């Protein structure tokens, strides 16, 4: 996998703006129990987290991305080209939470993984819990998400919100997607949110494909004292 990152100057100090980045990759199909080969991503590195859910007032995301066949950065998402490349991948926010603050940023030791999928390509790209069907629904700024739930190989509870269509441009406040999990066996208000990243889980592709992120900003707001 080849990943290129370009720094973004003059970012607003309150809104955590990431560098734009792109990743070109090609992988064979992996085993069913471990289908993801790589996760090219931008991980939030800030003292704003870990944050207890009871103290989280808002979690704002502003993101623009595209996927294309070949080695060049795509300016739009050409689904037919990705089908020709036999690509299986998603585009998502990945978050980890735990009752113990000390392990809330650990992707294998935390209690919960919460994902928000903005894109899903290929029949092999399936959220954990898909066979059981969606257990809830929620709409954020015009985008409707279906919730799937299950457990991964680490024994973590995994909750995945999947957009009802590929959404390459999204601006919205997503704390409601996290808070709504309380009614579905998910993290309670005492849990700590310690890890936030945005990227693409690369499952497989028969030809080179390129994932490009041209806008990414995150704004975490805490409850006023």
pTM above 0.85, yes or no: yes
Sign for the pseudo-dihedral over CA of 28, 30, 35, 40: negative
Identify the pLDDT of residue 33.
86
CATH number of 17-28+36-222: 2.60.120.180
The CA distances from residue 166 to 17, 34, 78, in Å, are: 23, 24, 11
Mean pLDDT of each 10-residue bin along the chain, 225 residues long? 55 61 97 94 94 98 98 97 99 99 98 99 98 98 98 97 99 98 97 98 99 96 86
Contact between 96 and 107 (Cβ < 8 Å): yes
Contact between 84 and 113 (Cβ < 8 Å): no
Identify the pLDDT of residue 224.
81
Contact between 39 and 27 (Cβ < 8 Å): no
As a whole number of angstroms, the distance between CA 182 and CA 180 comes to 5
Give the max Cα distance, the chain: 54
As a whole number of angstroms, the distance between CA 116 and CA 45 comes to 19
Q: Where are the domains of the chain?
A: 17-28+36-222
């Amino acid at each position: 996998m080849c990943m290129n990152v370009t720094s973004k100057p003059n970012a607003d100090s309150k809104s955590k703006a990431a560098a734009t980045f792109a990743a070109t990759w090609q992988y064979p199909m992996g085993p069913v129990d471990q289908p993801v080969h790589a996760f090219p991503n931008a991980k939030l590195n800030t003292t704003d987290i870990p944050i207890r859910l009871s103290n989280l007032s808002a979690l704002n995301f502003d993101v623009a991305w595209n996927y294309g066949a070949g080695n060049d950065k795509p300016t739009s998402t050409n689904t037919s080209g990705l089908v020709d490349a036999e690509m299986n991948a998603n585009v998502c926010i990945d978050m980890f939470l735990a009752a113990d603050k000390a392990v809330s940023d650990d992707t294998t030791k935390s209690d919960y993984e919460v994902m928000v999928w903005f894109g899903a390509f290929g029949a092999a790209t399936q959220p954990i819990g898909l066979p059981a069907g969606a257990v809830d629904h929620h709409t954020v700024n015009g985008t409707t998400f279906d919730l799937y739930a299950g457990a991964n190989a680490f024994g973590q509870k995994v909750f995945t919100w999947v957009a009802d269509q590929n959404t390459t441009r999204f601006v919205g406040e997503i704390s409601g997607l996290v808070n709504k999990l309380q009614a579905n066996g998910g993290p309670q208000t005492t849990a700590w949110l310690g890890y936030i990243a945005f990227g693409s889980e690369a499952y497989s592709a028969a030809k080179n494909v390129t994932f490009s992120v041209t806008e990414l900003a995150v704004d975490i707001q805490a409850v006023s004292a």
